[in-house]
Amino acid sequence: MVNFYSAVWSFLLLSSSVWGYANPGACSGTCVNTHDPSIIRRSDGTYFRFSTGGKIAVHTAPDITGPWTYKGAALPSGSSINLGGNQDLWAPEVALIGNTYYLYYSVSTFGVQDSAIGVATSSSLDVGTWTDLGSTGIRSSSGKAYNAIDPNLINVNGAYYLTFGSFWKDIHQVSMKSPPKTVASDSTAYQVAYDSVKTDEEGAFIFKHGNYYYLFYSKGQCCGYDSNKPAAGGEYKIMVCRSTSATGGFVDASGKACTNSGGTVVLESHGNLYGPGGQGVYDDPTHGPILYYHYVNTNIGYADGQKQFGWNTIDFSSGWPVV
């Protein structure tokens, strides 16, 4: 009988580890100041982390684990886009196109649809080398079917697409010119994800693995947990849909369309990790594909300024990302 109970307990422990979420990977150095992180690795092996606030805060490290060191602001003069919020830039996205790095960013204010997506360029990623080019031509205002924030660029065989959007009809996409400084002249924004019940999807990131393009996005309340904590389950979580095309047809693990309230949970609150989101995916040379994001450590505090940098390796063996 003792052996029976021991076997049951071992099974329960194993089940917990299989069906639960892994804790975030190691992080040392400056692991805060990391809202909406964007990670890129330079050819010399230096990791750069760009994040919301501080006119796009820049941190570097020799490894994804750190130690992360603050280097300064990517755009110390703010954005040339003449909109409210042009000194408090959001949701950076960094990509290497040829020999040039592109930094996309959002100009907006919280809860307002009057927003724009800008872009800057650099040859090295270093602080002090970024040139602001201003607007990409993606702009929203009251009454439009989208909000122009949270940009993400994907290159599909030399064709460039920018995916973006938030709580106004959720996530959209446009074609970009080559090089991708502005919207293609014949492109109109089209929807790639939408929850008709509760429009609270944003922060899109498209990552190709195998034969599929995976659309990762954040769902729920992002911020203000210290003053306005949502009901359980209403906080940020990371979702995914997939498609064989980067431009649409995304469905969740049950086959439900991402444009019809579909979506499969990748990572949500567990243990002392709360409200993970603002995510991206990077194919790390050491760890393989990793999901990176910000989160609240409930043992530290719920304030936006206390959000931590998190990352986990991703297992795609089932055809769906598991952390």
- Known catalytic residues are 36, 202
Angle (CA) 284-263-312 rounded to 5° is 25
C-alpha 265/C-alpha 238 separation (Å) is: 6
Dihedral angle of Cα 87, 91, 94, 97, to the nearest 10 degrees:
-90
Q: Give the distance, in angstroms, between the CA of residue 81 and the centroid of all CA atoms in the same chain.
A: 23
Cα–Cα distances (Å) from 320 to 37, 102, 197, 264, 310, in that order, read 23, 29, 24, 9, 20
Closest CA to 202 of 182, 216, 223: 216
Helices and strands counted in the chain (H then E): 1, 19
67: preceding bond cis by omega (within 30 degrees): yes
Distances (CA, A) of 214 to 33, 37, 96, 196, 282: 27, 18, 20, 21, 12
DSSP state, residue 64:
T
Contact 15, 286 (CB under 8 A): no
Q: How far apart are CA 50 and CA 38, in angstroms?
A: 5
Assess contact for 121 and 103: CB atoms under 8 A: yes
Assigned token pair, 249: 């047809």
CA atoms within 13 A on the CB side of 196: 6
